[in-house]
């Protein structure tokens, strides 16, 4: 339910706090006092369209904040949890939900808006998604949910106690949709399977024939360089080995003699011993290098045939590396990927057969559930129509005829996979539900949203809400001048009908009729005044004594006489 509504700088409202109680609340006041602004403010926190002209003249921004109390287990909490919005505060035993909407003027018609739910930034679309579970506004011009055909199936299912059956069907349809999606993917791959198989097999054959090894591109490149320059490498290494170690006057021999001379001198001066050892060490290292160079020279061969083989393999390898490389490691990984995909394609035909069997089985179960649910809906639709018709008769619309239309959901050939008896299968079944009404005898029933008379629409909505009071999802029902065009005994019947709804739901009613205002549990009056040359709209709660005066004003007009007061006292006493 709505606990508190705070409004700042909205049209004629400078700063306003409206606190509501559970049960039946009314707003009264003179015409033009600003009662509709309360509805505008509430619509904003429910995701309604924001306009620059809603911001009070002279202000840069307007703000509306609403505090709702949400019972445990509500669908609102599931939606908040799914959106990652915190809701740990409590008020009066329920979960606290604070919705804030901020409108900021950027000059002219330009407007910037922001919305917050429990302090978390969100979009107006997210607010609108929460709206049907928080509040339902019925007026001569709009209704958030009951005139929206998309919600009618939920109301019919609630009336017929079919929620569990619809939820079970939704699970079956989800499972069916998953199977159909996988089957479509397999079939799509099947359509190009043969061509893809040939392509993959060709690529795999190229790789298998070459059978590359990790790092092979580097070793082949090095071997090719040796083979290409074999003569030069032999000459260079052999000549160096001979000059260092093997030839006459070799460097190693000369270093050996020099080391012996210094070592002999070290007998005279011991400080020369380390230097003699250094010369000997250098000689030894050069001798090792010379022997290694000699071995290398002996191993180098001039082999044109091997060079041709290496260049041919390197050419083929580089060709594959350009396609799938740039290294042999990636080439080998690509070969594994090709092999896995090819194996998968070879098994896709069998998978398609399995999925077709699974689809048929799932579709059979879903069809059975959907047909049963549709039959029960048609039975419940007649009862709901009769119940609403009886309510309308009490509300002065005895000639009205109500029809709850249950029709197949239209489908196209593209959706044949999820089609039952020519109707499209959805998570809620195969039925399109819509409330139709013929307000007068001899007229054809029309969709509720197309009823021309605001008074007729309001009473039709009231009748539906009374029938569905214990079953509808909304926590707060708002009736905006639902009494338009009625009076006398019918006004009292409407008031008692609203009071009956308020036994199950919190109600906020804007009314001009004393018969309705007198039945409320809580009464607020909307007033308009001038302060420093500016018009202000205010809302204040009334005490019991003040209620007598306000109801008397509604009965007798501006000048309240004793007769009007006595009538007001009787009306207020009668409600108890």
Q: For position 416, what pLDDT does the model report? A: 52
The yes-or-no verdict on residue 375 having pLDDT over 90 is yes
Once rounded to an integer, what is the mean pLDDT over residues 141-156? 73
Task: Write the DSSP symbol of residue 143.
Answer: B
Domain-embedded: residue 283? yes
Query: Which of 46-55, 169-178, 189-198 shows the lowest mean pLDDT across its residues?
Result: 189-198
Q: 384-435, pLDDT tens digit by residue?
A: 999 988 888 877 777 888 899 999 998 765 445 578 888 889 999 999 999 8
Position with higher pLDDT, 72 vs 144: 72
Task: Write the DSSP symbol of residue 559.
Answer: S
Q: For position 480, what pLDDT does the model report? A: 80
Position with higher pLDDT, 186 vs 43: 43
Where residue 471 falls among pLDDT bands split at 50, 70, 90?
Answer: low
Domain-embedded: residue 498? no
**DSSP character string of 26-60:** EEE--TTSSHHHHHHHHHHHTTPPP-GGGBPTT-S
Domain-embedded: residue 490? no
CA–chain centroid gap for 549, Å, is 51
Proportion of the chain in helix, strand, coil states, percent, rounded to 5: 55, 20, 25
Share of the chain above pLDDT 90, in %: 23
Once rounded to an integer, what is the mean pLDDT over residues 20-25? 92
Mean pLDDT of the chain: 83
Once rounded to an integer, what is the mean pLDDT over residues 212-225? 79
Q: For position 454, what pLDDT does the model report? A: 57
- Residue 333's CB is within 10 A of a number of other CB atoms, namely 12
Q: For position 485, what pLDDT does the model report? A: 65
Q: 430-460, pLDDT tens digit by residue?
A: 999 998 888 777 788 888 777 645 566 667 7
Q: For position 374, what pLDDT does the model report? A: 94
Where residue 140 falls among pLDDT bands split at 50, 70, 90?
Answer: low
Q: For position 486, what pLDDT does the model report? A: 66
Q: For position 336, what pLDDT does the model report? A: 84
Once rounded to an integer, what is the mean pLDDT over residues 555-568? 83
Q: For position 89, what pLDDT does the model report? A: 54
Query: Which of 10-19, 124-133, 141-150, 307-316 shows the lowest mean pLDDT across its residues?
Result: 141-150
Handedness of CA 234, 240, 244, 250 (dihedral sign): positive
Question: How many domains does one find in the chain?
Answer: 1
Share of the chain above pLDDT 70, in %: 91
**Is the Cβ–Cβ distance between 80 and 118 less than 8 Å?**
yes
The yes-or-no verdict on residue 130 having pLDDT over 70 is yes
d(CA 137, CA 27): 14
Domain-embedded: residue 468? no
**Is the Cβ–Cβ distance between 392 and 466 less than 8 Å?**
no
Q: For position 100, what pLDDT does the model report? A: 94
The yes-or-no verdict on residue 284 having pLDDT over 60 is yes
Find all residues with CB under 8 Å of 461, minimum gap 6, and list them. Answer: 138, 143, 146, 147, 448, 479, 482
Position with higher pLDDT, 463 vs 537: 537
The yes-or-no verdict on residue 67 having pLDDT over 70 is yes
d(CA 508, CA 523): 10
- 431-438 and 423-424 as β-strands: parallel, antiparallel, unpaired? unpaired
Lookup: tokens for 246: 């093997």
Residue with tokens 């009787």: 570
The yes-or-no verdict on residue 574 having pLDDT over 70 is yes
Domain-embedded: residue 287? yes
Q: 494-527, pLDDT tens digit by residue?
A: 888 888 888 888 999 998 889 999 999 999 999 9
SS (H, E, C) 159-201: HCCCHHHHHHHHHHHHHHHHHHHHHHHHHHHHHCHHHHHHHHH
**Is the Cβ–Cβ distance between 32 and 19 less than 8 Å?**
no
Q: For position 175, what pLDDT does the model report? A: 92
SS (H, E, C) 64-91: EEEEEEECCCCHHHHHHHHHCCCCCCEE
Residue with tokens 């959706």: 415
Q: For position 146, what pLDDT does the model report? A: 65
d(CA 526, CA 537): 7
pTM beyond 0.75, yes or no = no
User: Residue 227: which domain range?
Assistant: 216-326
- Residue 388's CB is within 10 A of a number of other CB atoms, namely 24
């Amino acid at each position: 339910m709505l606990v508190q509504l705070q409004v700042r700088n909205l049209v004629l409202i400078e700063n306003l706090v409206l606190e509501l109680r559970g049960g039946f609340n009314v707003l009264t006041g003179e015409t033009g006092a600003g009662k509709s602004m309360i509805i505008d403010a509430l619509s904003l926190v429910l995701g309604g369209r924001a306009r620059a002209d809603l911001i009070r003249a002279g202000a840069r921004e307007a703000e509306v904040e609403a505090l709702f109390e949400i019972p445990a287990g509500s669908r609102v909490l599931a939606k908040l949890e799914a959106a990652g919005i915190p809701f740990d505060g409590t008020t009066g035993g329920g979960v606290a939900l604070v919705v804030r909407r901020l409108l900021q003027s950027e000059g002219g018609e330009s407007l910037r808006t922001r919305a917050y739910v429990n302090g978390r930034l969100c979009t107006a679309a997210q607010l609108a998604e929460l709206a049907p579970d928080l509040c339902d506004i019925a007026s001569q011009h709009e209704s958030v949910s009951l005139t929206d055909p998309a919600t009618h199936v939920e109301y019919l299912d609630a009336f017929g106690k079919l929620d569990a059956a619809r939820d079970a069907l939704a699970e079956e349809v989800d499972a069916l949709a998953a199977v159909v999606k996988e089957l479509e993917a397999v079939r799509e791959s099947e359509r190009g399977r043969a061509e893809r198989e040939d392509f993959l097999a060709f690529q795999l054959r190229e790789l298998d024939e070459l059978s590359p090894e990790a790092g092979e591109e580097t070793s082949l490149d090095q071997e090719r360089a040796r083979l290409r320059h074999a003569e030069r490498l032999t000459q260079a290494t052999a000549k160096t080995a001979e000059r260092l170690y093997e030839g006459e006057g070799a460097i190693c021999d000369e270093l050996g003699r020099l080391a012996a001379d210094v070592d002999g001198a070290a007998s005279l001066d011991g400080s020369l011993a380390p230097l003699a050892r250094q010369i000997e060490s250098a000689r030894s290292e050069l001798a090792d290098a010379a022997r290694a160079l000699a071995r290398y020279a002996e191993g180098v061969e001039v082999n044109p045939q091997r060079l041709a083989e290496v260049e041919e393999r390197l050419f083929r390898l580089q060709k594959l590396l350009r396609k799938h490389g740039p290294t042999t490691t990636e080439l080998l990984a690509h070969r594994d990927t090709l092999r896995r995909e090819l194996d998968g394609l070879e098994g896709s035909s069998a998978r398609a057969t399995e999925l077709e069997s699974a689809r048929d089985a799932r579709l059979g179960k879903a069809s059975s559930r959907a047909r049963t649910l549709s039959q029960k809906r048609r039975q419940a639709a007649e009862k709901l129509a009769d119940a609403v018709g009886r309510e309308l008769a009490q509300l002065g619309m005895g000639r009205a005829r109500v029809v709850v239309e249950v029709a197949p959901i239209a489908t196209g050939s593209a959706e044949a996979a999820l089609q039952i008896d020519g109707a499209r299968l959805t998570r809620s079944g195969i039925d399109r539900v819509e409330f139709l009404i013929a307000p007068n005898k001899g007229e054809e029933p029309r969709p509720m949203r197309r009823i021309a008379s605001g008074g007729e629409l309001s009473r039709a909505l009231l009748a539906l809400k009374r029938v569905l009071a214990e079953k509808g999802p909304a926590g707060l029902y708002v009736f905006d001048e639902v009494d338009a065009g009625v009076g006398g005994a019918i006004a009292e019947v409407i008031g008692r009908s609203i009071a009956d709804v308020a036994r199950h739901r919190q109600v906020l009613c804007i009314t001009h009729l004393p018969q309705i205002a007198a039945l409320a549990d809580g009464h607020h009056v909307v007033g308009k005044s001038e302060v420093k040359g500016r018009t202000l709209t205010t809302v204040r709660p009334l005490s019991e004594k003040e209620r007598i005066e306000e109801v008397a004003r509604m009965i007798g007009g501006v000048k309240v006489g004793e007769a009007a007061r006595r009538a007001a006292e009787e009306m207020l006493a009668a409600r108890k």
